[in-house]
Chains A and B, each alone.
Chain A
Amino acid sequence: MRIHTKYFFLFILAGIVFLSVRHWLDRKREKIQDIDIVRGDIDEGDSQLGLWAQKNDSALLMVRLRRDGSFDYQVVAYPVKDTLRYTGRYRILPSFVSNSRVSYPRLIAVSANGDTLINHFIQLTRAIKRNVDVLSLKANNDPDAPAILFYRIKQ
């Protein structure tokens, strides 16, 4: 069977057009609805965006990382009357490989006052067996180091 080269290229072109239109529409929707869209079928390097939360014995921690580089961190201590709220800018330093080790990517979140709230190595786990993404924050670069786990919350 002969393969028609032009149909193959048209197919590729259609794919590119579809992805860029969907990308553009996603960004427009994000602005209008104030949500963060991270697609599961294609890895655009933005999987850390969104609303993450952890409930522990003393408080509910919620972190929202936005696409424009700002973050929104809330600590809802029990009783629910006490809520601390911090906003600021965050950066992700990418992982690097050196002679002695591989480093995880780093999340550094600095509040508007200049306090560094988060300075941890992060590890993102896409939903594999269950339907929830996990963001884990580690203080050290060790694979064995204890990590604080945050779970993705619906927006």
Chain B
Amino acid sequence: MISCSNPTNKRAVTLEELDSIQAQDKIVLETFVPRRDMLTAAEIIDVADCDNLSCIQLYMKNLSRDFVYGKKDEYYAAQRISIKDTAGNWLTLPASTFYVDVNPQATWRVAHTVHTKEQRDNLLNEFKNLDFQLADEGYYIGIKSKQQRYVSKKYPDKNLYVTATFHPFYMKGIYDNKVTWPCYVFEMYKGR
């Protein structure tokens, strides 16, 4: 009886087999891991063509590996990042958000918010590669900070608004309470 082997070993592996088991799992998990942390410029332009919420929802459904549906009108990047806020605290939050507002009295419609300067610079460069140039600057769409407006000859009916702010949205989603990290908001509208 004492020399019998441990019955738990039927559900265990040796250290040598551990490598192959982990490799198997990694292949399976890789199909679920998000591949990026924000929308591309092309996607933002495509979404701006949508007239209603169902069109946007259908579009985002294809991106569901990278953007998870939070609740109505709120999409979050599946990838999370850790950033240091203005008070020096480390925060862990989704790498970017994509919010929609369908209320008739809302001053904005669709906004993609990123949370680091690198993300903002990368995204802006993508737009600049599509010939978006700075048209003017001002207070436009209900956000209390100055926005820059970009237009491109390739997309004559589209306007891109970019702003950096600590008050992106009034009490919405993760921006509900005090926001202590800089948010860079990208909005694209057809025709305004």
Contacts and interface: CB of A to CB of B under 8 A. Distances in A.
B14 A153 contact: yes
B9 interface: yes
Nearest to A132: B13
Interface in A91-119: none
Interface string A122-151: 000011001111000000000010000101
B192 interface: no
B12 interface: yes
Given A53-B18, A54-B22, A153-B18, A131 B10 contact: yes
Contacts of A55: 15, 18-19, 22
Contacts of B8: 35-40, 50, 152, 155
Contact of A153 (B2, B13, B68): B13
A29 B13 contact: no
B168 to A, nearest CB: 24
A58 interface: no
A80 interface: no
A32 interface: yes
Contacts of A154: 6, 9, 12-14
Interface in B1-29: 1-2, 4, 6-15, 18-19, 21-22, 24-25
A3 interface: no
A25 interface: yes
B contact face: mostly helix, strand, loop, or mixed: helix
A100 B71 CA distance: 17
Given A37-B7, A126-B11, A151 B1 contact: no
A39 B7 contact: yes
A87 B21 CA distance: 27
B13 A152 contact: yes
A55 B17 CA distance: 11
Contacts of B12: 50-51, 131-133, 151-155
Nearest to B4: A29
B11 A40 contact: yes
A135 to B, nearest CB: 11
Contacts of A153: 12-15, 18
A5 interface: no
Closest A-B pairs by Cβ, 4 of them: A127-B11, A152-B12, A154-B9, A154-B12
Interface of A: 25, 29, 32-33, 35-40, 50-51, 53-55, 60, 126-127, 130-133, 144, 149, 151-155
30 contacts: A29-B4, A35-B8, A36-B6, A36-B8, A37-B6, A37-B7, A37-B8, A38-B8, A39-B8, A40-B7, A40-B8, A40-B11, A50-B8, A51-B12, A54-B22, A55-B19, A127-B11, A130-B24, A131-B10, A132-B12, A144-B68, A151-B12, A151-B21, A151-B22, A153-B13, A153-B14, A153-B15, A154-B14, A155-B8, A155-B9
Given A35-B8, A130-B24, A151-B12, 15 more contacts: A29-B2, A32-B2, A33-B6, A37-B8, A127-B11, A131-B12, A132-B11, A132-B13, A132-B21, A133-B11, A153-B14, A154-B9, A155-B6, A155-B8, A155-B12
